[in-house]
Amino acid sequence: MSSPSLFSTPEPLAARMRPRTLEECVGQDKLLAAGRALGDAIRRGDVESSILWGPPGSGKTTIARLMAQYTDREFVEFSAVTEGVPRVRQIIQEAEQRRQLGRGTILFCDEIHRFNRAQQDAFLPHVERGTITLIGATTENPSFELNAALLSRCRVYVLERLDAAALEQVVDRALTDADRGLGRQRLSLDDDARALLIEQADGDARVVLSVLDIAARQVGRGGRIDRSVVANALARRVPAYDKSGEEHFNMLSAYHKSLRGSDPHGALYWMARMIDGGEDPMILFRRAIAMAAEDIGLADPEALKLAVAARDAYHMLGPPEGYLPLAEMTIYLATAPKSNSVVVALGQSLEAAQETPAAPVPLHLRNAPTGLMKQLGYGKEYRYAHDYPESYVAQEYLPEALRGRKLYAPGTLGFEKRIRERMEYWEKKRAEGAQD
């Protein structure tokens, strides 16, 4: 009689290896260790409605299941992607019957951010009455995705992306556990294959276990999992990037701050992450053009021109050749001298305008298109700069209320050093003209 298949279990490895106790959970000690609020509440059997916010594969579903297990409540799983409010009503009805019999219900709503704000309201009265304990899981920032009423009734716990050490534990348990894992298959995993797996998993335990599952099937009992096997099992992962969610703004912020911080390596990396995730390059060009004006300014006037030219070049070339001017622009802006003096000057100018909204234009600066205006002295004492040596003559251009006010102070780097020299020269000429 033939022996049963090594892979006779219908459950994937990720499901089989799901932690059964808090102690088996890895990578979330800040939440689950003794002395931590969530871990202690679960151990006491005293959990309240909560939102678990964290990246994929960080343990949100596992923690929700453990909440039900430790509190002896019914665990009901619900997906906001495939189910709707009618299913919620059914679950609530069953939960009410269960409560009358003395047992509570944990309603686990996966991807709760997929519910719109009106749909989220369906949970509110039942959370308030205690019919259910709602545990919502989301990869998106709850502040943006959940309505305030629901958020105020839930504790928010932030799960961290699993680090390499945590993923190492996941790999070792899966390879050695003979009951639920791959221990009976006596597999070997090369060091470089392990490193590739952990690197490409990007903090997602589910990816690690899914890839190991595929690799084990490929090499069979006693097989050796090398780097090529892992690479084949990984195939090409979908980048962890949401063009409309918080991650979009996080990466765009990282790109801008890398440019501002004069780090071309970081700027190129975040640029590549966004492009690889399907971002519209125009988003990057718009941010870079703004950055050239805001953070470089007159320290390097070429920066703004180059950023605009790179955008136009991308329009002409399209991808993938158009990524070259994008990368060229990124490197140039990151390595250019930095100055925010234009930003400061603009702010001070607007502030001065608000302080003196009625300050009259000095008579000598006014135009005099009519005879009456000429009689009133409009433009009478204006001195035409080109009538004087070096096309400069000392005269006042600010209104009386702002006389002597300095709105722009050039920086000390790049082209602004020359601007500073020019301003000092004109100030000297002004002082000489005032003495004449």
Q: What is the pLDDT of residue 5?
A: 43
Alpha-carbon span 106 to 135, nearest angstrom: 7
The pLDDT, as a whole number, for residue 424 is 87
Which residues of the chain are in CATH 3.40.50.300 domains?
28-158
Give me the residues paired with residue 75 across strands: 106
Of 247, 270, 275, 242, nearest to 258 (Cα)? 270
Rounded to an integer, what distance in angstroms lies between the CA atom of residue 167 and that of residue 26? 8
- pLDDT for residue 4: 41
The burial of 278, by beta-carbon neighbours within 10 Å (0-12 exposed, 13-18 middle, 19 or more buried), is given as exposed
CATH of domain 164-234: 1.10.8.60
The CATH fold of domain 364-435: post-AAA+ oligomerization domain-like (1.10.3710)
Q: Nearest to residue 101, comparing CAs of 126, 74, 62?
A: 74
CATH 1.10.3710 domain position(s) in the chain: 364-435
Q: How far apart are CA 67 and CA 61, in angstroms?
A: 10
Residue with tokens 């059997």: 45
Are 225 and 194 within 8 A, CB to CB? no
The dihedrals phi and psi of 212, each to the nearest 5 degrees, come to -60, -40
Collapsed DSSP state (helix, strand, coil) of residue 157: strand
CA distance 352 to 350: 5
Does the domain made of 246-335 have the CATH classification 3.40.50.720?
Answer: no
The CA distance from 202 to 64, in Å, is 22
Two tokens, residue 69 = 């297990």
Strands (E), 120-212: 133-138, 155-158, 188-189
Q: Are 167 and 205 in contact (CB under 8 A)?
A: yes
Residues 6+ apart with CB under 8 A from 139: 53, 54, 55, 56, 111, 113
Residue 351: exposed, middle, or buried by beta-carbon count in 10 A (0-12, 13-18, 19+)?
Answer: exposed
Q: Comparing C-alpha atoms, which of 263, 395, 278, 249 is closest to residue 330?
A: 263
110 three-state secondary structure: strand
Residues linked to residue 74 through DSSP beta bridges, in sequence order = 105
Helix and strand element counts for the chain (H, E): 21, 7
Nearest to 194 by CA among 169, 219, 218, 177: 169
- Is the bond preceding residue 320 a cis peptide, omega within 30 degrees? yes
C-alpha to C-alpha distance for 155 and 58, rounded to whole angstroms: 18
d(CA 134, CA 67): 11
10-60 per-position pLDDT tens digit:
588 999 999 999 999 999 999 999 999 899 999 998 899 999 999 888 999
Q: Which stretches in the chain have pLDDT values below 70?
A: 1-10, 236-246, 434-436
Tens-digit pLDDT profile for residues 135-163:
999 988 888 888 888 888 899 999 998 99
Q: Which CATH class is domain 28-158?
A: alpha beta
Q: What is the structure's pLDDT at 244?
A: 54
CA triple 54-55-60, angle to 5 deg: 55
Q: How do beta strands 224-225 and 105-110 pair?
A: unpaired
Could you give the CA distance from residue 41 to residue 90 in angstroms, rounded to a whole number?
Answer: 28
The answer to whether 192 and 178 have CB atoms below 8 angstroms apart is no
